[in-house]
Amino acid sequence: MRNRWGVLAILFFVRLTMAFQFQSVAAVAPLLEKTFGVGLADIGLLIGLYFTPGVFLALPGGAIGARFGDKATALAALALMMSGSMTMALTDGWSSQIAGRLVAGIGGVLLSVQLTKMTTDWFAGKEIATAMGIVINSWPAGIALSLLTLPAIGTAGGAPAVFFAVCAVVAAGIVLISFTGRPQRAEQWRRRPLASIGRR
């Protein structure tokens, strides 16, 4: 896809999946407490673990994207997010829930860095403020969607159904982001020879 506003819609949805996954634990906290026999402090730990990998990956995340490409890194990040939620859906141990949450968090941190980079690549000048504003608002949209849908899903199908629902949303993000191409502006900079930079 070459239409930048279409790509922006895709980036909006893909970032929404990250917020949807992040809020999935808080949205069904009472259900998780009952299912795994844990307390509120344990639920708080599980929520916070999602962003813990950011302490180590926020800075190298950009270098990883530069090395392997924005789209490939975003797809890998989404795959990690899905793997983490799948682990939480298919296992019944609390330690497995923690491990799955950490894996999902690694993907979420990498995805956040790459989506910001991809937005700046597609938009320039005055449009960047509008584009960034739209992408940033995907976070509260994902939180709201999670709170509206996951409690009902958890009540009907239990904790595994919640995390399977997260997997479905992330899978939709994988499909959509695969349609994005390289922005023309980024291609021009990539092809521009170093000798074209003036001495001044």
Average pLDDT of adjacent 10-residue blocks, the chain of 200 residues: 87 96 96 94 95 82 85 94 97 94 95 91 83 94 97 96 97 93 57 50
Length of the chain: 200
For residue 137, give Cα distances in angstroms to 2, 26, 112, 163. 23, 20, 13, 23
Taking only Cα atoms into account, the Rg of the chain, rounded to an integer number of angstroms, comes to 18
Dihedrals phi, psi of 94, to nearest 5 degrees:
-65, -35
The answer to whether the beta carbons of residues 103 and 84 sit under 8 Å apart is yes
- pLDDT, residue 200, reads 54
Q: How far apart are CA 159 and CA 25, in angstroms?
A: 10
- pLDDT, residue 160, reads 95
CB atoms under 10 Å from CB of 98, counted, come to 16
The sign one gets for the Cα dihedral 155, 158, 159, 163 is negative
Q: What is the CATH number assigned to the segment(s) 4-182?
A: 1.20.1250.20
- pLDDT, residue 192, reads 47
The answer to whether the beta carbons of residues 48 and 81 sit under 8 Å apart is no
What type of residue is 126? K
- pLDDT, residue 184, reads 63
